[in-house]
Amino acid sequence: MRVLLIDDEELALKVNEKMLSEVENVEVVGKFTDPYLALKEMETLQTDVVFLDMEMTELHGLEVAEMIMSEHHHIEILFVTAYPQYAVEAFDVNAIDYLLKPINKVRLKKAIKKTQEKLDLYNSSKEIAFSYAHTMGSFYLLDTKQNIVKWRTKKVKELLLYLGHHRGYPVHKSIVVEQLWPEADAEKAFTLLHSTVYQLRKTLKESGIENSVQFINDHYALNVFVQSDYADLEQLIKSKEMNTSIVEQVLTLYQGDFLEEEEYNWSIQSQRYLKNSVLQFLEKVILTEEHATLKEKCLEKMLELDMYNETYMYKLLEHYIQAKNKEKIDSLNKLIKTRLSDDLGIEIPFANNSLYTSIEK
């Protein structure tokens, strides 16, 4: 369960985060004292539940809740406040629960259980007709018979990816139009959206799904569960373990940036997020990994993902020298010269270092 916290008091945010960290299967994905900033980041953070304070300086919690419900139909609201008199109003805006400060641990776990049950019910309603979506580098979607799905138009494919990346959460039609047809005038854009939704439903119906795209309160949602390499990578790098099997899977799955070949503007933020997350994961691995071959693979992948990173260049060079691999030393030496000196016109920062000059002799 992905939880976002909104409270105008920093201390309250820290206390709530600490309590939630002790609850199994709960991840705090964001903390905000500014409700406007929280609203802006909510969709990107793929929030399931918002823990929301009632009495705040800029906006009342009920106002914030109404804004969330109008734009993010799928997100659950759970009020956390010191004021019991607002309980009736809280449920009027369809809040799933209402907790009083200071939060009682037993009561918190009960609220989390209730929320998770509702989320599970929502997720279980999605139909399964596809086995896997390959999104790292190139994109293709396999149906349950392992056949690659063919798309009627590029926009039908993009709409599937855009709604699918929101993991079944509804997206307002205006946002869909803005992301997929940014240059079209409003009337034409909505006509294109309706046509594309029709074509997507038709395509998915051929795979056995009758109710593939839902439209509720001006929001579109994909009613199909699709496992993907993106989701697999996210799960692996968030794991507290970094054993050989997990590291090998991360290296294998990252075959290119997320939807790299598709060049969608809306995917750039997720693309950067995942790349940075993988790099941070691999940086931790090389600090603890003693297996030389696996460490080398990690260093090579790091430089592949961040090709002008001088630190990665130096660490990989140091590794090759320690391994006494003359062929790879020479190859990396030429690569460093090409990227830094020839491409960027900058002096190689460690050219005078004894480690570097030793390979020149």
Position 90 scores a pLDDT of 62
Please say whether the beta carbons of 171 and 73 come within 8 A.
Answer: no
Position 129 scores a pLDDT of 55
Strands annotated E in 151-270: 171-172, 213-216, 219-222
Low-confidence ranges of the chain (pLDDT < 50): 352, 354, 360-361
pLDDT by residue (tens digit) across 299-355? 999 999 998 888 898 899 889 988 888 888 888 888 888 887 777 777 766 654 545
311-328 residues labelled b (16+ CB within 10 A) or e (exposed):
ebbbbbbebbbeeeeeeb
- In this structure, what DSSP letter does residue 148 have? B
* Start-to-end CA span in the chain (Å): 57
pLDDT by residue (tens digit) across 259-287? 999 989 999 999 999 999 999 999 999 98
Position 282 scores a pLDDT of 94
Greatest CA separation for the chain:
79
- Is the torsion defined by CA of 242, 246, 252, 258 positive or negative? negative
How open is the CA angle 258-28-171, to the nearest 5 degrees? 55
CA distances from 142 to 85, 128, 129, 134, 226 (A): 53, 12, 9, 8, 10
- Of 77, 232, 67, 222, give the one whose Cα is nearest residue 158: 222
Position 352 scores a pLDDT of 45
Position 349 scores a pLDDT of 63
